[in-house]
Amino acid sequence: MAKDYIGYHAMTDAALRGVVREALRRIEKQGLIGSHHFYLTFKTHFPGVEIPGFLREQYPDEMTVILQHQFWGLKVKDEQFEVALTFRKLPATLVIPFAALTKFFDPGVQFGLEFKSLEGEAKAPGPTQVSPPLPAAEQNHVMPDEPEPADLPAEKPAAPAEVVSLDSFRKK
């Protein structure tokens, strides 16, 4: 294969991050409409990411946040966005550069994107058939108002990953 001197993959990646930026700008102005809500996965140690220390310790590589019911203060800029969420009953403002994102998923319309990381870890950018997010025990997934660890039952060793269809949870 010939060397790509133009950088099509980088341009595609930047354009698709623009899709996420525009989606966030729309909910910044009008709020979430219909069944739309967002799962945003990002690298926690990416330059410019600002999260509380306890979250960085708990999620040393990657973390997923959900923008659905309990978020506020969404501010979208050209290179980053910030949003306030509650973790362990404490409000926290997260600042996330768009370049730190590795995945974006809107389960309300089954639309998802994966982004190529700087290290080239993720798949090539582009619309994908993204499977539903894994259960919290199987990925770095944070939901607002997470119970305190002392309130949680003792965890069993993680079972092998299993794909679950969202169809069983849909209203008929």
Instruction: Give the chain's domains with CATH numbers.
Output: 8-148 (2.30.30.220)
DSSP 3-state percent helix, strand, coil across the chain (nearest 5):
25, 30, 45
* Buried-exposed string 100-110: b where 16+ CB fall within 10 A, e elsewhere: bbbbbbbbeee
pLDDT, one tens digit for every residue, the chain (172 residues): 788 889 888 899 899 999 999 999 999 998 888 889 899 999 999 999 999 988 888 898 999 999 988 888 999 999 999 999 988 888 889 999 999 999 999 988 999 999 875 544 434 344 444 444 443 433 444 444 444 444 444 444 444 545 555 565 566 5
Provide CB contacts within 8 A for 17, sequence distance 6+. 98, 99, 101, 115
